[in-house]
Amino acid sequence: MISWIAVLVAAFVASSLAANTTTSLRIMPLGASVTFGVGSTTGDSYRKDLRDLLVQAGYQVNLVGQQKHGSFADNAVEATPGFVISQIAASAHTATPAFLPNLVLVDAGTNNCNKGGLVPDAGANVSAMIDDIFKLSPGTTVVLATVLANKIAEQDACRVDVNKQYEALAADFAKKNAKFVLVDMRGPDGPTTSDLFDTRHPNDRGYEKMAAVWFQGIETAKNRGFITAPASNGIPLNATGKSGPGGSAFAAHMSGADGPLSASISLRLLGAMGGILSVMLAFPF
């Protein structure tokens, strides 16, 4: 009887952990000054807040990019202040095959609207950039953000038009069953003009709101089954260099740089023990 219970305990624990296998995210934050962190007191942009949310949720995270900026350790980013869509696309074309991210967060189009007017080819150019990312890093998922609100009316009108183009390209990607998610930075959870450092860059509160919207988009991608493991190219699965399924997830969560200790494994074990207790009550010995 004792050996039967031991087998049962092992089975419950194993099944609980297997059902919650750690998801690894090699994220390339792609954009311009907002992604870089202009307006943030630390230079972290949304990136540190987002990383903390993901680590708390049980993900392994490694941010990748050709630049480093911000106050936290895992601060790699693919962003240059002032870049327009064509320049961001050129950066993506170089960085994507170098890092092979399995998740790319795109914030583009802001600087194309700095002179006001309309940018009728913004959607087509961003769509072409995303297609290039898909080609250069097969299996990757792309999350695109709508362009943030702006305090200058002429520039904001341009941004509203660009966002309509992004909604159209999102519909096209959906028809293709592409691994693509559009997140609305102008929705109820996104930054407003009261969350801006100047006329167009978020302040710390604005970046915190952006992080929450990105997180929701990543969860949507995961729930749709879009996210697959990063390519094996020597880049660690998280910023600490620790990786691997099953038991090594303990070390990864315990040492997750820049994020609070994840409670996910503890919750999994508690769930498993609850199941064991139920069985023991049903079958006393």
**Amino acid letter, residue 192:** T
- Write down the pTM of the prediction: 0.79
Burial category of 96 from C-beta neighbours within 10 Å (exposed 0-12, middle 13-18, buried 19 and up): buried
For 27-259, the fitting CATH number among 3.30.300.130, 3.40.50.150, 3.90.226.10, 3.40.50.1110 is 3.40.50.1110
Count of helix runs (H) and strand runs (E) in the chain: 9, 7
pLDDT of residue 22: 79
Residue 238: predicted pLDDT: 87
Which value, in Å, is the radius of gyration of the alpha carbons in the chain? 21
Helix (H) or strand (E) holding 103: strand 103-106
State both tokens at 154. 């002429």
Give the domain ranges of the chain: 27-259
pLDDT of residue 6: 42
Residues of the chain below pLDDT 70:
1-21, 240-285
Pairing of the two strands 103-106 and 24-31: parallel
Residue 240 has a pLDDT of 64
What's the pLDDT tens digit per position in 104-159?
999 999 999 999 999 999 999 999 999 999 999 999 999 999 999 999 999 999 99
Q: Are 82 and 45 contacting, i.e. CB atoms less than 8 angstroms apart? A: no
